[in-house]
Chain A
Amino acid sequence: EVQLVQSGAEVKKPGESLKISCKGSGYSFTNYWIGWVRQMPGKGLEWMGIIYPGDSDTRYSPSFQGQVTISADKSSYTAYLQWSSLKASDTAMYYCARQVNPAESFQDWGQGTLITVSS
């Protein structure tokens, strides 16, 4: 069974750094892209970027380029999304999801990680 298991909810202060994770199992981790999707409270889905763990090819949405860093560790079957300095506007649910290639569907999704940034 394919599973994407994300790290737990976080409460952080503005200016703090954060790295959340998405661990894949039940499939060949290096042969699928992992994407990150933001959902702000009461809003729609926003594509942030994707990474191909096989060779670390990474692509970002222009809206998120320079704001976050996406990475992956093949040895632990884990993808990451990180911020160096959080803002209140980063408060949202973040999902990881896998796809065969960037033009294909996201077949499987993680359960989501809720990030709350508040002073």
Chain B
Amino acid sequence: QSVLTQPPSVSGAPGQRVTISCTGSSSNIGAHYDVHWYQQLPGTAPKLLIYGNNNRPSGVPDRFSGSKSGTSASLAITGLQAEDEAAYYCQSYDSSLSGYVMFGGGTKLTVL
């Protein structure tokens, strides 16, 4: 069971807006560690989507945005497109037990 909790699945129609939550605790997201998001298309390696809570690497469309508040973070996707259908993972750092990298359990986005 992941320390960072994500919904197993979300869905939306093309053009709609969806959000994916990532809930942590006082030893990771709540301890002011940044949250990062990855997109994993079927059969491919994960790709960095959002870093440092709300920053997009070069080449990532501005339809993707991130936010963080307290012990939670969210990924928002606006103007949903068929090619956004993928698994999405959040990642942060946990200061307990000598410090560890943490991934959320992942959320499968289905574009209806």
B89 contact set on A, CB distance < 8 A:
44-45
Contact partner, B93, options A95, A102, A108, A109, Cβ 8 Å: A102
Looking at the assembled complex, report how far the CB atom of B68 sits from the nearest CB atom of chain A, in whole angstroms: 13
Query: At the interface, yes or no: A61 with Cβ under 8 Å from chain B?
Result: yes
Contact partner, B91, options A50, A106, A108, A112, Cβ 8 Å: A106
Stretch at the interface among B16-24, B72-80, B95-103: B95-103
Q: Nearest A residue to B98 by beta-carbon distance?
A: A59
In the bound complex, CA of A102 to CA of B97 (Å): 14
* Number of B interface residues in the complex (CB < 8 A): 28
In the bound complex, CA of A46 to CA of B106 (Å): 10
Given A105-B51, A105-B91, A106-B91, A47 and B103 touching (CB < 8 A)? yes
Given A44-B2, A103-B34, A109 and B46 touching (CB < 8 A)? yes
* Number of A interface residues in the complex (CB < 8 A): 23
Interface residues, chain A, with chain B CB atoms under 8 Å away: 35, 37, 44-47, 50, 59, 61-62, 95, 97, 102-112
In the bound complex, CA of A102 to CA of B34 (Å): 11
Given A44-B2, A103-B33, A111-B45, 12 further pairs, Cβ under 8 A: A45-B89, A45-B103, A47-B101, A47-B102, A104-B36, A104-B51, A105-B51, A106-B48, A107-B57, A108-B48, A109-B45, A109-B46
B77-112 CB contacts (< 8 Å) to partner A: 87, 89, 91-93, 97-106
